[in-house]
A and B are shown apart, each in its own frame.
Chain A
Amino acid sequence: MTSTTLVLAETTGDNVAQSTLATLAAARELCDTLDVFVAGGQVAKAAAQLACMANVRRVLIAEAGHLGSCLAEDLAGLVAEHVRDYSHVLAPATTFGKNLLPRVAALVDIQMVSDVIGIWDSETFVHPIYAGNANETVRILEPHKLLTIRPTAFAKEAVDGGEARVEHIRVGEPRAQSREIELRLHGSDRPQLESATVVVSGGRAFGSAEKFRLLKALAADLNAAVGASRAAVDAGYAPNDCQVGQTGKVVAPELYIAVGISGAIQHLAGMTGSKVIVAINKDPDAPIFGVADYGLVGDLFEIIPELGEKIRLLRSEPVSELADA
């Protein structure tokens, strides 16, 4: 079998999602010829974007009203029909890919691998286990390799240069086992925790939900997502979907600023993959300093307003290198 990879594309709105770009980057490490599967209610724009990306040979479009909410019951069967044509099938390790690919894998009786962060060869992959406290290298013994790709581990630049054929595939009738009732998306002004370039997280040291707002102000200055330790969530300062850690979200931004977080094991498991870590804490012995690139010991209630103010000043300077920071 010649080696060809199928990438299951995720879209946001009308466009190709960032997570798809990272998945394409991973796919290019595996082979030179890629096909892309894109499904939804209206995907013409995303399909056109995908068609001119490097190494893409074909874009398979599954377009129908009932595919608009991307329910796994409808999509998995469509994808499963194509698996045997490919050496590899890749999806981003986002809620989209995590919901879909295991269902596809079971339909074709294949054990897949989740959250790949490294590719050794065509059948050997590295992925984190224990919330990133260990990395496991595995060899897949299946005839077709199904993988979800952790977007933070691969380049997210769009590489163009492709001239792919665009083909519509037959989509069939809705399965009618499930239907979407409501979709509520956070405003686009607030970056998502799991894909943000900068994350600022707060711990119990804030003392109240009201004072936790200081952190939100800093996040706004940095165009950052807001995270929280489990202790801060348990104390009611922040909602549960902000929780960073083993039982919350695992993040790996360019910059992670931990404010008033001591650094319990369970929290560290969720953020040590970050590129640069800053810790701000009153207690110089806090374990968080053990993983931080830059530590600042002091009172967060003095440091945070000063930091916010100086960042705003930096941003307002007409320095070209800061223009897109």
Chain B
Amino acid sequence: MKVLVGVKRVIDYNVNIRVKADGTGVETENVRMSANPFDEIAMEEAVRMKEAGICSELLAVTVGDEGSQEVLRTALAMGADRAIRINVEVSPQPLNVAALLAAVAREEAVDLVLLGKQAIDDDANQTGQMTAALLGWPQGTFASELIVDDGRVRVAREIDGGQQTIELELPAVVTADLRLNEPRFVKLPAMMKAKKRPIEERTPEALGVDMRPRVERIKVTEPVPRKAGVLVADVDELLDKLRNEAGVI
């Protein structure tokens, strides 16, 4: 079975986000970047499928500029067989990304597309569902467990209020939630080896995908800062404040 994993380069989850003074976006200069944590979980799951002999070829794909090659190096170090970067200069929107991933999935005749449930920069949570729609494939979003068996994949989904287990016909798209697994730590020698591996390049033009933006950013602002709080002396004062000042209990 051939598996495609999508990996996005984002600002590291431990970085304190700063909104640019001119409101055009958030500061990305000299900021630590990493693979989107949910994509790492998707990658880990695919590597485990490879180790279990279920996945015969593991393809890591990213959409971005040259800098995003670094997340493909991480994917190769984790266990990807091949890495493809679709060259895009401007930050693409989910429907564009879905169209690119769908095009590669078709071209490469993959059986399973595994993505993170959302990227922690735009938090859109759209790409997996859109990719599935464009391919006409079933989708298993927010996966916390994934079992491939006999042309089908069984997915436990984290839904509001509980867990839903569904069974999908392959080919399918699955998006990873936090509980699916814990990604392995990539060791330095593996990373060094990955640096020498080739990275294939594609373009939206060659894949026949129109990249025009359909949503226009007006501005990015900081959320209204929380007003400075007070320290209370004891439990009685806390309860008094919560009851009579804040009115929440």
Give 1 or 0 for each of A181-219: 1 = CB within 8 Å of chain B CB: 111111000001011001000000000000000000000
Q: If A69-B164, A307-B238 touch, does A95 touch B11 (CB 8 Å cutoff)?
A: no
- Bound Cα distance A272, B96 (Å): 31
State how many angstroms separate the Cβ of A137 from the closest Cβ of chain B.
Answer: 4
User: Is A111's beta carbon under 8 Å from chain B?
Assistant: yes
Contact (Cβ within 8 A) B249 A314: yes
Residues of A within 8 A of B128 (CB): 102
Q: If A111-B95, A134-B19, A278-B238 touch, does A182 touch B164 (CB 8 Å cutoff)?
A: yes
Give 1 or 0 for each of A212-248: 1 = CB within 8 Å of chain B CB: 0000000000100000000000000001110100111
Residues of B within 8 A of A138 (CB): 215-218
Q: If A105-B130, A129-B123, A177-B138 touch, does A71 touch B166 (CB 8 Å cutoff)?
A: yes
- Bound Cα distance A177, B94 (Å): 24
State how many angstroms separate the Cβ of B157 from the closest Cβ of chain A.
Answer: 8
Residues of B within 8 A of A96 (CB): 159-160
User: Is A112's beta carbon under 8 Å from chain B?
Assistant: yes
Residues of B within 8 A of A12 (CB): 161
State how many angstroms separate the Cβ of B63 from the closest Cβ of chain A.
Answer: 15
Q: If A295-B229, A310-B235 touch, does A106 touch B134 (CB 8 Å cutoff)?
A: yes
Interface hit among B53-61, B66-74, B185-193, B219-227: B219-227
Q: What is the total number of residues of chain B having a CB less than 8 Å from a CB of chain A?
A: 82
Give 1 or 0 for each of A296-325: 1 = CB within 8 Å of chain B CB: 110000010011001100100000000001
Interface hit among A32-40, A82-90, A286-294: A286-294
Partner of B162, one of A136, A183, A254: A183
Counting chain A CB atoms within 10 Å of each CB, the highest count among B126, B144, B227 belongs to B126
Partner of A72, one of B98, B129, B239, B242: B129
User: Is A119's beta carbon under 8 Å from chain B?
Assistant: no
Residues of B within 8 A of A73 (CB): 138-139
User: Is B169's beta carbon under 8 Å from chain A?
Assistant: yes
Contact (Cβ within 8 A) B215 A113: yes
User: Is B184's beta carbon under 8 Å from chain A?
Assistant: no
Contact (Cβ within 8 A) A294 B230: yes
Contact (Cβ within 8 A) A292 B129: no
Contact (Cβ within 8 A) B179 A241: yes
User: Is B111's beta carbon under 8 Å from chain A?
Assistant: no
Residues of B within 8 A of A113 (CB): 215
- Bound Cα distance A105, B213 (Å): 15
User: Is B158's beta carbon under 8 Å from chain A?
Assistant: yes
Partner of B246, one of A95, A110, A130, A276: A276
Residues of B within 8 A of A132 (CB): 223
Contact (Cβ within 8 A) A294 B222: no
User: Is B141's beta carbon under 8 Å from chain A?
Assistant: yes
Contact (Cβ within 8 A) A177 B219: no
Q: If A103-B129, A111-B95, A114-B124 touch, does A95 touch B223 (CB 8 Å cutoff)?
A: no
Partner of A178, one of B93, B166, B243: B166
Give 1 or 0 for each of B155-184: 1 = CB within 8 Å of chain A CB: 001111111111111001000001100000
Contact (Cβ within 8 A) A314 B163: no
Contact (Cβ within 8 A) B164 A111: no
Contact (Cβ within 8 A) A306 B226: no
Contact (Cβ within 8 A) B235 A240: no
Contact (Cβ within 8 A) A134 B125: no
User: Is B120's beta carbon under 8 Å from chain A?
Assistant: yes
State how many angstroms separate the Cβ of B24 from the closest Cβ of chain A.
Answer: 11
- Bound Cα distance A190, B121 (Å): 31
Please give the residue numbers on chain B whose beta carbons come within 8 Å of chain A beta carbons, in ascending order: 11, 13-17, 19, 26, 37-38, 93-96, 98, 120-134, 137-142, 144, 154, 157-169, 172, 178-179, 213-223, 226-227, 229-232, 234-236, 238-239, 241-243, 246, 248-249
Q: What are 7 inter-chain pairs, A to B, with CB distance below 8 A? A: A94-B160, A111-B213, A129-B122, A175-B138, A178-B167, A180-B164, A314-B243
